């Protein structure tokens, strides 16, 4: 659903004549219209309006993660999506939030990952992370989240840029260079599946490089917001088994002042009607209770915790205040 349509729908809900009580409209801070945050936020807005009595919601276009944390801290938005490393930095007062910890932000869930996907051609002879040494490797566009994740993963496992011929290419450039034989392997950090790899797999036989258990553990030790993740079988043409890797989760965040019952209802309906989100964007295939509990980097709102307790799952201590 387009932003304008969401605005109109929300306004219509609020201004409906003859209702006993005016609805409370919630603002969902997302990102640009070309990314995943905006359609996902729009889908969440639909769930809120459909299943939570007395509430409607609207997805708002924003500058994404960093801006969204400020909006939540100031209560200028009710719900927001942000990358786990940004959410963690905001809560801790590090990085772009140096000296100004936003200690009033809380999580509802991690909803889907930006997964590290290491791609090579099936006949390249590269089958492991160590095989990248001496090879031409795209590490992501300069300063991108992909390059940050790539560098951290490599260095955590004893590989530096001195060991490879690094190329700083964006996603489409990486896919083209692999197809044309100009590089040997490339890194992506993005919500799977992604179109550039999907397109590459239709013209070339590809391989996704699996990380070993030790390589995953080394990466998790180096970066607290990484989470273990497995790319699904058949996610791309020719991928016939799950592929272990790491990811940076995307987190649904609210202010600690949100009403507990409302936070509970949002969390409950997020998971119980996730099929409706999947119909809007495939990233929601990863919106599971298990993913949320295993990869959320900050403590959760009490209302969200109440839902997770009802599921009977073990809740990590770090998710409680």
Q: 125: left (phi > 0), else alpha (psi -120 to 50), else beta? A: left
Q: 118: left (phi > 0), else alpha (psi -120 to 50), else beta? A: beta
So what's the pLDDT on residue 141? 86
Per-residue pLDDT tens for 206-236? Answer: 999 999 999 999 999 998 889 889 999 999 9
297 close to 257: Cβ distance less than 8 angstroms = no
Does residue 13 register a pLDDT over 50?
no
72 close to 255: Cβ distance less than 8 angstroms = yes
Q: Which of 56, 58, 60 is nearest to 19 (CA)?
A: 56
As a CATH number, domain 114-248 is: 3.40.190.10
Percent of the chain at pLDDT > 70 equals 93
Give the long-range contacts of residues 159-165, CB within 8 A, separation 24 or more: 159/129, 159/130, 159/132, 159/133, 163/132, 163/133, 163/134, 164/132, 164/133, 164/134, 164/135, 164/136, 164/137, 164/139, 165/134, 165/135, 165/136, 165/137
Burial of 133 (0-12, 13-18, 19+ CB in 10 A): middle
Give the confidence band of 2 by pLDDT, cuts at 50, 70, 90. very low
217 close to 245: Cβ distance less than 8 angstroms = no
Question: Which CATH superfamily hosts domain 3-112+250-319?
Answer: Periplasmic binding protein-like II (3.40.190.10)
Domains of the chain, residue spans: 3-112+250-319, 114-248
End-to-end CA distance of the chain: 36
Per-residue pLDDT tens for 30-79? Answer: 988 867 899 999 999 999 999 999 999 999 999 889 899 999 999 999 99
**pTM of the full predicted structure?**
0.75
Q: What's the rounded Cα separation, in Å, for the pair 57 and 68?
A: 16
3-112+250-319 and 114-248: same fold?
A: yes
Q: What's the rounded Cα separation, in Å, for the pair 66 and 68?
A: 5
């Amino acid at each position: 659903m387009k932003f304008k349509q969401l605005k109109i729908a929300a306004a219509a809900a609020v201004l409906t004549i003859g209702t006993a009580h005016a609805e409370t409209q919630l603002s969902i801070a997302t990102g640009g219209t070309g990314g995943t945050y905006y359609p996902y936020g729009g889908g969440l807005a639909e769930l809120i309006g459909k299943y939570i009595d007395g509430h409607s919601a609207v997805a708002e276009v924003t500058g994404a993660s960093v801006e969204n944390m400020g909006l939540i801290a100031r209560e200028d938005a009710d719900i927001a999506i942000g990358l786990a490393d940004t959410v963690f930095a905001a809560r801790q007062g590090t990085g772009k939030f140096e000296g100004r910890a936003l200690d009033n932000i809380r999580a509802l869930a991690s909803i889907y990952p930006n997964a590290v996907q290491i791609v090579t051609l099936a006949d390249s002879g590269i089958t492991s992370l160590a095989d990248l040494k001496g090879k031409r490797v795209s590490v992501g566009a300069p300063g991108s989240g992909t390059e940050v994740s790539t560098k951290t993963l490599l260095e955590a496992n004893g590989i530096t840029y001195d060991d490879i011929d690094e190329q700083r290419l964006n996603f489409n450039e990486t896919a083209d260079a692999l197809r044309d034989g100009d590089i040997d392997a490339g890194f992506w950090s993005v919500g799977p599946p992604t179109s550039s790899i999907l397109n590459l797999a239709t013209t070339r036989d590809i391989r996704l490089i699996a990380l070993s258990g030790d390589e995953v553990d080394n990466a998790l030790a180096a970066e607290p917001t990484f989470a273990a993740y497995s790319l699904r079988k058949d996610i791309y043409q020719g991928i016939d088994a799950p592929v272990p890797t790491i990811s940076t989760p995307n987190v649904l965040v609210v202010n600690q002042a949100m009403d507990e019952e409302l936070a509970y209802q949002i969390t409950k309906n997020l998971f119980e009607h996730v099929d409706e989100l999947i119909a809007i964007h495939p990233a929601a295939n990863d919106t599971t209770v298990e993913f949320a509990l295993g990869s959320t980097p900050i403590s959760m709102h009490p209302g969200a915790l109440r839902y997770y307790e009802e599921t009977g799952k073990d809740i990590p201590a770090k998710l409680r205040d």
